[in-house]
Amino acid sequence: MLKVVAEHAGAFYQHYPRVAAIVTASSGGRKNAMAVAWHSSISFKPPVYGISIAPKRYTYQLISESKQFGINFVPYEKAEMIAAVGGSSGNMIDKFSEFNIAEDKSIKTEVPILRDAYAAYECKVIDNKVFGDHAWIIGEIIAVHVAEGVFRANGMLDLSQVHPALYLGGETYCSTDVSYVKFLDREKYGKK
């Protein structure tokens, strides 16, 4: 494959698509939701998850005060909600009332859990470091919420039941097509 080489990252979308998620936070009676594409699991034991947020964001302020956050995975059918919470400021509006976002009760934190999420984590912050224009906030997962019937017995998402929202950048979303899923045998492909 022919490649073009550059000395700058440009729009920095080369590593997309990424599963879009909604981070939720609350502190002192205030709450917010924001879209994120930069997030990742970090450890199984203990279960640790990281999110990348610019320190200038209202959600960052709430997380810094409360030391907790939620990460909510919503289906492709909710791409408009992802774009709405990502394109507006919690300093200016109450996104939950403005966009009619329904919540479920958290069990170990005070963070909002989105009713439309097929999976959500409640996290307790264990580290927060700034790198360039974003902070990498690391949380231990202390509670997990999953919709019934959307995960297989092995824990994998059942793509015939839910279509994750994939963010391509520039407010462009897509999802998965199960006809393109390959199940490969680790005994054949992973061990040498």
Residue 115's CATH number: 2.30.110.10
∠ CA 120-35-75, nearest 5°, is 55
C-alpha distances out from residue 81 to 4, 72, 112, 116, 161, Å? 36, 12, 15, 10, 20
Confidence (pLDDT) at 192: 57
**What is the 8-class DSSP label of residue 179?**
G
Residue 12 lies in a domain: no
Residue 9 lies in a domain: no
Residue 47 lies in a domain: yes
Confidence class for position 191, pLDDT limits 50, 70, 90: low
Each residue of 86-134: pLDDT tens digit?
998 988 999 999 999 999 999 999 999 999 999 999 999 999 999 999 9
**What is the 8-class DSSP label of residue 118?**
S
Structural domain including 144 reads 18-189
Residue 117 lies in a domain: yes
Residue 27 lies in a domain: yes
**What is the 8-class DSSP label of residue 180?**
G
Residue 86 lies in a domain: yes
Q: How many CA atoms does the CB half-sphere of 188 hold within 13 Å? A: 3
Q: How many domains does the chain have?
A: 1
The pTM (predicted TM-score) of the whole model is 0.91
Q: Taking residues 140-168, report their average pLDDT.
A: 94
Residue 10 lies in a domain: no
Residue 167 lies in a domain: yes
Confidence class for position 179, pLDDT limits 50, 70, 90: confident
Each residue of 50-76: pLDDT tens digit?
999 999 999 999 999 999 999 999 999
**Contact in structure between 150 and 64 (CB atoms under 8 Å):** no
Mean residue pLDDT of the chain comes to 92
